[in-house]
Amino acid sequence: MSGNSFGNLFRVLTFGESHGHSVGVVIDGCPANIPISIEHIQRALNRRRPGQSLYTSPRDESDQLICMSGLEKGKSLGSSICLSVKNKDYRKKDYDELNDLYRPSHADYTYEMKYGIRSKSGGGRSSARETLARVAAGALAEQMLKFFCPKLEVIAFTQSIRNLSLKNDLLNVSKDEIYSSQLRCPDKIIEAQMKDLLNNVQKTGDTLGGVISGQIRNCPVGFGEPVFDKLEADLAKAMLSIPASKGFEVGEGFSSTLMLGSEHNDIFINKSNEIRTKTNHSGGIQGGISNGEHINFRVAFKPVSTLFKKQMTVNKFKENIPLKLKSGRHDPCVLPRAVSVVEAMAYLVLAENFLKYKARKLI
């Protein structure tokens, strides 16, 4: 109710300022007796961590996960699960100069207007560091879902950076192919071009945005709660809650507006005695409910707001002043790390919808 929690039956509540004591999450609603590997969660955190390549922030966040409650001997107890990470790379000075001014397109101004107070330094809750808690929760949700729906899987990857884009939907790409790419882009040729682009833009102190594709494979029929909690509505909220995201589309998305009904409709067919659709323009959801086809969606991320070139802005006294950040600990492009967050948020949506589905099915 004040924005730090997501979900009801599988509720996560995150906490932690980017330069405070810790960042973490409490997960309330995971069924008991589910095998949960902390190592699996740690690996997910490692993938999200900055400092892994030239293309992500050099800030060292080793992000050692602490399990404070809810798990014992590799299993969930049915109680609330608290996972946290200490903030150790705390370099307060970097930010001091910024306390009196509002960085363009950051949350400094809106936070201060809303709350009348700002975290001592850094972005507080608006920092990307907050997403660490989402990734931890998502990796736990993934394991819960694996227990009940072994084939269900979420895949996310970098679809485009600026105008460099994968040519088609990669329906069969594997997690390994994605994770082995620094930019989380499974096409090596495009990835090489993206790296060149990033290098060139980074030299000028500028930044880039792009699109992340998400796929939910083997989602059982029946997830999603019409009217207001349609599966795509839950996904849209989840994705638009990620820092820097500006758009979401499912299936054909905005392109569907250019199609005729007869082009867009997915004809039902009998396929090996199962009811399936011939095409999948709907993106695996009809009437807000999963139809058994793969769910695919895309999320738009704007270019990173933190530039290392001069910009004008105003300070608290409403004076126009120039802003030029020195050294950088920020990503020139959020996409490679955001892939983990998109994946995590999709798992959280699925965990919630699975439990809702389970609560009311007859058998």
Instruction: Report the sign of the C-alpha dihedral through residues 281, 283, 287, 289, in that order.
Output: positive
Residues in the chain, overall count: 363
Which 8-state DSSP code applies to residue 355? H
Q: One symbol per residue from 263 to 282: x for binding a second copy (CB under 8 A), - otherwise; what is it? A: xxxxxxxx--xxx-x---xx
State the Cα–Cα distance between residues 326 and 322, nearest whole angstrom.
13
Told to check if 3 binds a second copy by CB under 8 A, we report yes
CB of 58 to a second copy, least distance (A): 18
State the Cα–Cα distance between residues 103 and 300, nearest whole angstrom.
22
User: Judged by CB under 8 A, which stretch of 44-52, 54-62, 172-180, 355-363 contacts a second copy?
Assistant: 355-363
- Contact criterion met (CB below 8 Å) for 30 and 140: yes
Told to check if 361 binds a second copy by CB under 8 A, we report yes
CB of 282 to a second copy, least distance (A): 6
User: Judged by CB under 8 A, which stretch of 37-45, 52-60, 81-89, 91-99 contacts a second copy?
Assistant: 81-89
State the Cα–Cα distance between residues 263 and 252, nearest whole angstrom.
11
By CB under 8 A, the residues from 299 to 338 that bind a second copy are 300-307, 309, 311-314, 318-320
Q: One symbol per residue from 151 to 170: x for binding a second copy (CB under 8 A), - otherwise; what is it? A: ---------xxxx-------
State the Cα–Cα distance between residues 187 and 160, nearest whole angstrom.
11
CB of 44 to a second copy, least distance (A): 18
Told to check if 201 binds a second copy by CB under 8 A, we report yes
Q: Which residue of 35, 54, 64, 68 would you call a contact of a second copy, by CB under 8 A?
A: 68
By CB under 8 A, the residues from 207 to 266 that bind a second copy are 207-211, 221-222, 224-230, 232-241, 243, 245-254, 256-266
Told to check if 182 binds a second copy by CB under 8 A, we report no
| Cα 93 versus chain centre, distance | 29
Task: Sort 165 into a burial class: Cβ within 10 Å, 0-12 / 13-18 / 19+.
Answer: middle
Told to check if 355 binds a second copy by CB under 8 A, we report yes
CB of 176 to a second copy, least distance (A): 26
Give the nearer residue to a second copy in terms of CB position, either 95 or 175. 95
By CB under 8 A, the residues from 95 to 114 that bind a second copy are 102, 104-107, 109-111, 113-114
Nearest alpha-carbon partner for 145 in 207, 216, 215, 73: 216
Residues 315-331 as b or e (16 or more Cβ within 10 Å = b): eeeeeeeebebeebbbb
